[in-house]
Structure 1
Amino acid sequence: MLDDDGLVRTVFSGLSPLVVEEVTDEGEQIRLRARTPDGSATCPGCGAETARVHGYHRRSVADVAIDGRRVLVVVRRRRLVCPTRGCRQTFREQVPGVLERYQRRALRLTSQIGAVVRELAGRASVRALAALAVRLSRHTALRLLLRLPLPALRVPRVLGVDDFALRRRHRYATVLIDAETRQRIDVLPGRTADVLEAWLRAHPGVQVVCRDGSGAYAEAIRRALPHATQVGDRWHLWHNFGEAVLKEVAGHSACWAKAGPPIKVGKRAQTTRERWHQVHDLLGKGVGLLECARRLNLGLNTVKRYARVPEPMRLQRAPQYRPTLVDPYRDHLRRRRAEDPAVPVLHLFNEIRALGYPGSFNLLYRYITQGRVEADRLPIAPRRLTRLLLTQPDNLKDEHRHLLDDLTAACPEMIDLAGLVRGFADLLRPREDNADRLDAWIAIARAADLPHLHAFIRGLDQDRDAVHAAVTLPFHNGGTEGVNTKTKRIMRQMHGRAGFALLRHRILLA
């Protein structure tokens, strides 16, 4: 038994409102015997002071562990008699800050459990708490999580709105944050316009709403907050623009890849030309796109792709090759074929094998017949060229910058596309005059022969006010995207087994 009063007061300072009478070491558990202090107490019904004792009651509660061992506190509480006639006859005194009604854990232990459960949820929190000598089941852990108070809901001036999947392609939810402080505001079940509209009408005061290109969210904001400013997300604008640039680069690959191997004219190229003429002949007679698809037995998107390009050569793609074992010996092969154009492939194979070539004869033969030896450069994939176009020029290596300059200079449309990429990237730095500059950029893009970029511009026209706000105001939806990333981590921890109420609790308490 411990009898050092100073040590007891230090270790169990969280129980200072109680009078500790005895501390017993029971091996795996430490037992404290305590009582409530003498004096008067307040009746919870009428507020009258009384010190008249009717009886005593013992209650066992768990406290924070010490030295990896559980702590059990046995508290003797008084049952007091209320002096007010007509009020309750007796009542048990409470100890605010230490014990609450019906609780079997000290408040500081409950607070620690809540912090662990808030981060780890069910089974993981139980395993972590077991190492801290706290025993509870995963069901109790989840019940404690749902009892934790949520932050007070407040209406922000700038609201960020985005959706995330509860079950992809089946169920979704909407998360709302303060776009200025990135504090979570609420989580709504569903991503329809009615769900967001109901929340906005119930919580007036929002002046600016940051969102992506969702038409449902735009409609909800227009109906509930007609005077609020809608701000499109600049990341989504750049992402959609990048997809349009990739389509343009792929569509003009036959032009900018002229320095590479020639495009083979085979059965596929012939079929492409025939389909292009069929589609354009029907369109020239006034037949609609859907009717063209029905008559030619093609998909509607395929017909749109054929109708978008002015000539069939745009539909052909430059050949793409992967790196092979022959690439290090390309200069030697080129030099030997320049000296003797009739040199047999077997002689070339023996020569480069003596230089260390580890590949087969068939690989070398295909390499030569594909025209890769005489090509001025190795082919580059449209996706890689798009990445070079969308990368900030200062972040490119010299070799990549020279390659980009050579490829864009080989095609007039690529020259226009490179200039439009730089202009649009500059617009994503918010400035007050960007609205006029955006209109000028759109006029230049429409004059260029870039049909995929025209489709992107039509999307901008449908949401022009939000796009103008995105390029002129400093607000954005990046914080909401960050919350969604953390939400996916939370859902992975719960393995998709938790209901919406528990998920909402974890998101708002994170």
Structure 2
Amino acid sequence: MLGTNPYDANFTIPEQLRVDALSFDGDLLTIHTSTERPAAECPLCGQPSRRVHGRYTRTLADLPWCGTPVRLRVRVRKFFCDEATCERRIFAERLEEVTHSFARGTDRLRGALEWIAFALGGEAGARLARELGLLVSPDTLLNRIRGAFLADPEEVRALGVDDFGFRKGNASGTILVDLERHRVVDLFEGHSAGSIARWLGQHPGVEVVSRDRSNVCREGVNAGAPGAVQVADRWHLLRSLVLGLEEFLLRKRTALGKAAASGTGSEEEDGLPGSIDDDGVSPLSVRLGRPYGSIEGPAHKRHERLVERWKDIRRLHLAGASVKDIAEWVGTSQSTVYRYRELSEPPPRPGYRRRASVLDPYLPYLLKRWNEGCRSAKRLHAEIRERGYRHSVDTVNRLLSSFRHTEQQGKKPSHAPRAKKGSIAGASPTAKNVAALFMRREEMLSGEQKEYLERLCASDAALADARRLTQDFAKMVRSLEGEKLDRWLGEAEASGASVMEKFATGLRKDLSAVRAGLTEEWSNGPVEGFITKLKLIKRQGYGRANFDLLRARALAA
């Protein structure tokens, strides 16, 4: 039914029916019809019959006309079956291409409801149907999804496999996508090697399987389709490298900070052009958010808790405890244990640094008007809107609150600072930011970023090797240069960067799939796209996205 469009033609009466009368009561259009065929075939033996036994009336809901609900009242005949060997003596004529036996609506109405149900689900679909003149409940639309006929998928040659979260945190499922046709092939609960192997065993035509680097997918494909070419997804390869880089750079935190400090020097930040400094008042930073003390206190307590957690993790790690046991005893995640166990010093406490604000271009003008005596946020908001400001008055109101706070301290707001420019901000860049710079193409780096990376690599040979090898691997991935993989693995294993040695060792465990990922064009990109669509379908379900409904809508998407 989903293969046809119920709105291909204008509203017409089916050819098998003849209109006898019309009636309209203001809210409902009723069309009285009857059949024209002189004979009907028995549904059991198929023999035609002309002997009429009697008549009865069927009431069928139909597509609306100009937003008005339509009801068909069809005069149906009963016939005698004269075939001596037939078990049925009396039968009713079938309304083929109009409706099915025992149905209470026409086939084209059912098709329209299925289109709405598969596109919008229950609640949203019912609202749209009411606007179109279709009187239907959300439960009825969900039943249309469950009862819809879904054709068997065609033979799949290139398959994408991945897991998705059916329920957040406590349930997972497996999605299979045809990478050639970009369609969902199947969806089933659970994510295990056995379920993937069973599905592949039932579909022996699969030649290529794109997957992530998890053991579940690898073992499932090896068991279910040992002859298929396995392709490791390129995004997951780069993601694994980035995570390793972040863990490696955390242990180089001192070098990251020194490279940034040597570039910034001890110069103070300049104020905004046009900042006011009259009456000999010393400059005072303008607070655009909460007072500094309200941020400093909780931040100090949070840092104390982090230091205590680091001490516990280090003590248990040096005692020989495993990562899993440490995570359970300390009450944190295993990723935190991996990050903290290698730190020889407590994690430093990040300093409070003012962020850039949408009001920065207008601070000089606002300071001037404030010092002139204007205290109305609405008036100042209207004035800076004429100068190009496009945000809400609430931001202006918060700024004026900080001005009042400054004046209550007996001082005059006279200086408007600005946030530092560039991506290398502050004296201690994070490992995540530096890892992103390692991955970024050389031509996309700014001058400041290039200078920072040059200082950083010059200070540590291991960091220089890590950046060089990261750039080479990223280029291999982007250009599909799998023939260079063996040479790169040799350089990584011989380098002084432990992260590259560890990453190369992991690649060798799945070398054939990694090589195919760096050579073939297949990837898990379409699979990730359908996982995003699954999340949208679940949200549209308003809590009514059970697995059978989710699977049906995903297969029809």
Coarse TM-score class (shorter-chain normalised): 0.7 to 0.9
Alignment of 1:476-491 (within 5 A): 476-491=523-538
CA shift in 2, pair 1:155/1:394, >3 Å: same
CA deviations over 1:439-497 (Å, ceiling 9, x no partner): 22122222223223333333222222211111111111111111111001111122444
Letter in 2 for 1:392: R
Q: Which runs of 5+ in 1 are unaligned?
A: 1-9, 329-352, 360-374
C-alpha separation in 1, matches of 2:314 and 2:81: 98
Counterpart in the other structure of 1:160: 160
CA shift in 2, pair 1:414/1:448, >3 Å: same
Counterpart in the other structure of 2:179: 179
**Shift of residue 504, structure 1, vs aligned partner:** 0.9
In terms of mean alpha carbon deviation, does 176-185 or 16-25 score higher? 16-25
CA shift in 2, pair 1:138/1:495, >3 Å: closer
Letter in 2 for 1:357: H
Q: Which runs of 5+ in 2 are unaligned?
A: 1-8, 263-303, 361-410, 418-423
Counterpart in the other structure of 1:346: none
C-alpha separation in 2, matches of 1:232 and 1:502: 31
CA shift in 2, pair 1:59/1:414, >3 Å: same
CA shift in 2, pair 1:208/1:276, >3 Å: closer
C-alpha separation in 2, matches of 1:12 and 1:493: 30
Alignment of 1:318-329 (within 5 A): 320-324=350-354
C-alpha separation in 2, matches of 1:248 and 1:58: 79
CA deviations over 1:312-351 (Å, ceiling 9, x no partner): 5xx576774443499x9xxxxxxxxxxxxxxxxxxxxxxx
Alignment of 1:192-271 (within 5 A): 192-260=192-260
Alignment of 1:29-44 (within 5 A): 29-44=28-43
Q: Is the 8 A contact 1:151 1:509 kept in 2?
A: no
Counterpart in the other structure of 1:109: 109
Counterpart in the other structure of 2:281: none
**Shift of residue 358, structure 1, vs aligned partner:** 5.7
Counterpart in the other structure of 1:78: 77
Q: Is the 8 A contact 1:253 1:317 kept in 2?
A: no
**Shift of residue 158, structure 1, vs aligned partner:** 0.8
C-alpha separation in 2, matches of 1:48 and 1:417: 82
**Shift of residue 156, structure 1, vs aligned partner:** 0.5
Q: 1:357 aligns with which of 415, 423, 427?
A: 415
Counterpart in the other structure of 2:449: 400
Letter in 2 for 1:449: G
C-alpha separation in 2, matches of 1:273 and 1:36: 84
C-alpha separation in 1, matches of 2:115 and 2:514: 41
Counterpart in the other structure of 1:90: 90
| Matched position secondary structure for 2:521 | coil
Q: Is residue 429 of structure 1 aligned with residue 478 of structure 2? A: yes
Counterpart in the other structure of 2:47: 48
CA shift in 2, pair 1:145/1:278, >3 Å: closer
Counterpart in the other structure of 1:471: 518
C-alpha separation in 2, matches of 1:43 and 1:125: 39
Counterpart in the other structure of 1:386: 435
**Shift of residue 174, structure 1, vs aligned partner:** 0.8
Q: Is the 8 A contact 2:24 2:30 kept in 1?
A: yes
| Matched position secondary structure for 2:185 | strand
C-alpha separation in 2, matches of 1:378 and 1:147: 63
**Shift of residue 378, structure 1, vs aligned partner:** 4.5
Give the TM-score of the pair, scaled to structure 2.
0.71
CA shift in 2, pair 1:290/1:207, >3 Å: same
Alignment of 1:114-193 (within 5 A): 114-193=114-193
Counterpart in the other structure of 1:461: 508
CA shift in 2, pair 1:354/1:28, >3 Å: closer
After superposition, the CA RMSD in angstroms is 3.7
Q: Is the 8 A contact 1:211 1:231 kept in 2?
A: yes
**Shift of residue 251, structure 1, vs aligned partner:** 1.9
C-alpha separation in 1, matches of 2:339 and 2:353: 30
C-alpha separation in 2, matches of 1:376 and 1:180: 45
Give the TM-score of the pair, scaled to structure 1.
0.77
Identity of aligned residues (%): 29
C-alpha separation in 1, matches of 2:219 and 2:51: 66
Letter in 2 for 1:250: L
C-alpha separation in 1, matches of 2:308 and 2:551: 54
Counterpart in the other structure of 1:26: 25
CA deviations over 1:351-380 (Å, ceiling 9, x no partner): xx9993268xxxxxxxxxxxxxxx997543
C-alpha separation in 1, matches of 2:231 and 2:259: 44
Aligned pair count reads 444
**Shift of residue 118, structure 1, vs aligned partner:** 0.6
Counterpart in the other structure of 2:280: none
